[in-house]
Amino acid sequence: MAVDLLKEKWQNKVGTITIGATKAEGGTRASTVTVGGQSTLPFMFGEGDMPNKPVIAMEIFDIIPEEWPATLKEPFKDVMNDPAKWAKKCVDEHKAELICIKLQGTHFDFGNRSDADAAAAVNAVLEAVSVPLIILGTGDEEKDNKVLAKVSEVSKGQKCLIGDATDKNYKTLAASCLADGHSIIAESPIDINIAKQVNILISDMGLPQERIAINPTIGALGYGMEYAYSIMERARLAALNGDKMLSMPFVCFVGQEAWRAKEAKGPQSEHEDWGPESTRGPLWEFMTATCMLQAGGDILIMRHPKAVEETRKYIANLMK
C-alpha cells in the first residue's frame, strides 16, 4: 500500500542578498550573485522552493598565509605573493563565482599594514577579476574599524559583502556599508540569541535586512559540527516561521575551520593510517562543506581547489 509522506508547508521565506554591481548598476562586475529566498528547509523541494543555489567563494589573503599547510599552499604557490594574481587564478582556473579577500596583513601580528595598503590590495583584486567580492578584516576591532571603513570607501558602488560586525563592534562598519552601498556580515558565537541581537542592532542603524548576512561561526567536521548545525537549523526554522531577524542568508567559513583540524593537516608519518595530507585535507574541507549545505549554508568560503570542485558537483546534484 502506498504511503503519502507528511509534508511541511511554511508561510515565510528566507531573505535574499545580492553581491556585486554590474556597470548598469553603477559597478564594474560582469555578474552578480544572489543567495537565499528559500521557502523550505535545505533541498526539500517537495515542500517549497529554493530559487537560488548555494555558492562558493574562494578565499585569498593580502599576504602569504604562513599558517597554511604545504598541501593548501601548493595550488597557489606561484601567485600567493600577489592577491590580484591569486584572485585571477581562482576565477580563471578554478571557476570561482565569488572572491573573498581576507586582509590579514593589516593585523598587528602579521605586518600591521595600513588602511591605504588594504585599499590598494582590494582595488587590485577588483581590477583583476570581474566577479563580486567579499572583504574581511582580521577580527581586531580597533584596526578593522579603520581598515574596513577605508576599503568600503574605495570600493563604493561595487556592492561588496564586508565583515565581520559583532554585537560589540558593529557601528563603524554598518555606517560604512550604509554610506557606500555594501552589505554586511553579522557575526555571532554559535548563539541564536546573539545572532538575532546583532541583526537588530544593525537594522536599527538603517541598513536594510536584505543587506545583512549571518556568520554563525561554524565548527569543522569533528570539531563542534553538531552544535553549529543545530544552531543553524534552529535559526532557519525560526525564519520559515516568520522571525525576520533570523531570516538572513548564512555565510560559512568552511576553509578556515576545516584546515584548523589536525586530521586535515600534518605529516603522514605521525598518522600512518590517516593517509596523505594531500588527500585527507581537501576531503576534510569537502565533508565540512556538505554538512554546512545541509544545515542551510548559502555562501561557503573555501580554500582548496579540489574541495571546491567536489562541493560544486555536490551542489549541482542536490539542486536537481
In a domain, 12, yes or no: no
What percent of the chain clears pLDDT 90, i.e. is strictly above it?
A: 88
Block residue for cell numbers 588527500: 279
Distance, in Å, from the CA atom of 140 to the CA atom of 110, rounded to the nearest integer, reads 12
What is the residue range of 197's domain? 19-319
Does residue 128 belong to any structural domain of this protein? Answer: yes
> Rounded CA gap, 196 and 256, in Å?
24
SS3 string of the chain? Answer: CCCCCCCCCCCCCCCEEEECCEHHHCCCECCCEEEECCCCCCCCCCCCCCCCCCEEEEEEECCCCCCCCHHHHHHHCCCCCCHHHHHHHHHHCCCCCEEEEECHHHCHHHCCCCHHHHHHHHHHHHHHCCCCEEEECCCCHHHHHHHHHHHHHHCCCCCCEEEEECCCCCHHHHHHHHHHCCEEEEECCCCHHHHHHHHHHHHHCCCCHHHEEEECCCCCCCCCHHHHHHHHHHHHHHHHCCCHHHCCCEEECHHHHHCCCCCCCCCHHHCHHHCCHHHHHHHHHHHHHHHHHHHCEEEEEECCHHHHHHHHHHHHHHHC
pLDDT tens, position by position, 297-308: 999 999 999 999
Indicate whether 240 belongs to any domain.
yes
Q: Domain for residue 2, yes or no?
A: no
Residue 183 sits in a domain of what CATH number? Answer: 3.20.20.20
Lowest mean pLDDT among 6-10, 49-53, 130-134, 139-143: 6-10
Question: Is residue 3 domain-resident?
Answer: no
pLDDT band at 242 (very low <50, low <70, confident <90, very high): very high
Kindly state whether residue 6 falls inside one of the protein's structural domains.
no
Residue 1 belongs to a domain: no
Residues 105-163: tens digit of each pLDDT? 999 999 999 999 999 999 999 999 999 999 999 999 999 999 999 999 999 999 999 99
Q: How far is CA 123 from CA 118, 143, 151, 215, 302, in A?
A: 9, 19, 8, 25, 22
Q: Which sign, positive or negative, has the C-alpha torsion 237, 57, 291, 190?
A: negative
For residues 283 and 1, the model is more confident at 283
Average pLDDT over residues 57-71: 96
Q: Give domain status of residue 279, yes or no.
A: yes
CA torsion through residues 74, 312, 99, 230, sign: negative
Q: How high is the pLDDT of residue 274?
A: 81
- How many structural domains compose the chain? 1
